[in-house]
A and B are shown apart, each in its own frame.
Chain A
Amino acid sequence: MHQAARVSGRTVFFLNGVIVEAADTEVLFSTPKDSRTEDYISGRFG
């Protein structure tokens, strides 16, 4: 996951085959809109 944050300009978060959120990498890793995205990137599940 941190590799994605380092090398990509855009990041998409998929959960169970569904796109939950797509955003510029900096936005997705700083202020994600969906709480599932925040929970995943913060290590609360997965």
Chain B
Amino acid sequence: MIRRKEFDKDLEELRSLLQQMGEHVKDALEGAINALQNLDTTLAQEVVEADLQLNAMEDKIMEIGSRLIITQQPVAKDLRRIIVAFKISSDLERMGDLAIDVAKATMRLQGQQLIKPLVDIPRMAEIVTIMIDEAIQSYLDENTDLAYKMAQDDDQVDQLYGAMINELYSYMVTKPETVSQAMLLTLVGRYIERIGDHATNIGESVVYLVTGSRPDLNE
């Protein structure tokens, strides 16, 4: 049973690292959105630089998970716990990269003024932040109900994204001088919408962890 104790200890570390990665992604997104709203390039740069920590946590998860597979040859739910840790860490790492893309957009806006007050982008980010919380909580509690709820949140984000594109398109048509910035803001919307999709992927991983079968919540 000593082996099992060691195994449980490592599984707990995987859980803790994934929780930390989730917190990191939330902070990165919050920082990136604040930087964009205030056109604060210093804050945007900080968001970009902090990504190294997220990558290091993903590497650590790969290291622990690989070691557990080699030394413990896990089966059933134990194996799924490790597979899911790999998958979720990869989703979280990508979410962090997308938050960086938002921060980099702010850097490209240096010296400009926003063509309009941002409404939909912060609202999308707010819902996506809730989704990141739900994703991590559903994983920690192995709660599939929460995983399915995230699919509904993702629909809201998609609707906001659609509305935002239409609005920015109107700007581009009526005020051609805004095209460059409107394109950039469209991309920012896309980045945030993709973060939501990755959060939904985490929900799918949780359903797989609990049931052994993989649903498609991104339909």
**Which residues of A come within 8 Å of B, CB atoms?**
2, 5, 29-32, 38, 41-44
Of the candidates A2, A30, A43, A44, which one forms a contact with B79 in the assembled complex, judged by CB atoms under 8 Å apart? A30
A2 in contact with B76 (CB, 8 Å): no
B4 in contact with A43 (CB, 8 Å): yes
A43 in contact with B76 (CB, 8 Å): no
Of the candidates A29, A38, A44, which one forms a contact with B4 in the assembled complex, judged by CB atoms under 8 Å apart? A44
A30 to chain B, nearest CB (A): 6
If A43-B7, A44-B4 touch, whether A5 touches B75 (CB-CB below 8 Å) is yes
Question: Is B116's beta carbon under 8 Å from chain A?
Answer: no
Interface of B is mostly: helix
B72 neighbours in A (Cβ, 8 Å): 43
B75 in contact with A29 (CB, 8 Å): yes
If A30-B212, A31-B212 touch, whether A38 touches B3 (CB-CB below 8 Å) is no
A42 neighbours in B (Cβ, 8 Å): 4, 74-78
Task: Render B1-35 as a binary contact track against A, CB cut-off 8 A, 1 for contact.
Answer: 10110010000000000000000000000000000
A-B contact pairs, 20 of them (CB 8 A): A2-B73, A5-B75, A29-B76, A30-B75, A30-B76, A30-B79, A31-B76, A31-B211, A31-B212, A32-B76, A38-B76, A38-B77, A41-B75, A41-B76, A42-B74, A42-B76, A42-B78, A43-B1, A43-B4, A44-B4
B77 neighbours in A (Cβ, 8 Å): 38, 42
**In whole angstroms, how far apart are the Cα atoms of A44 and B211 in the complex?**
20
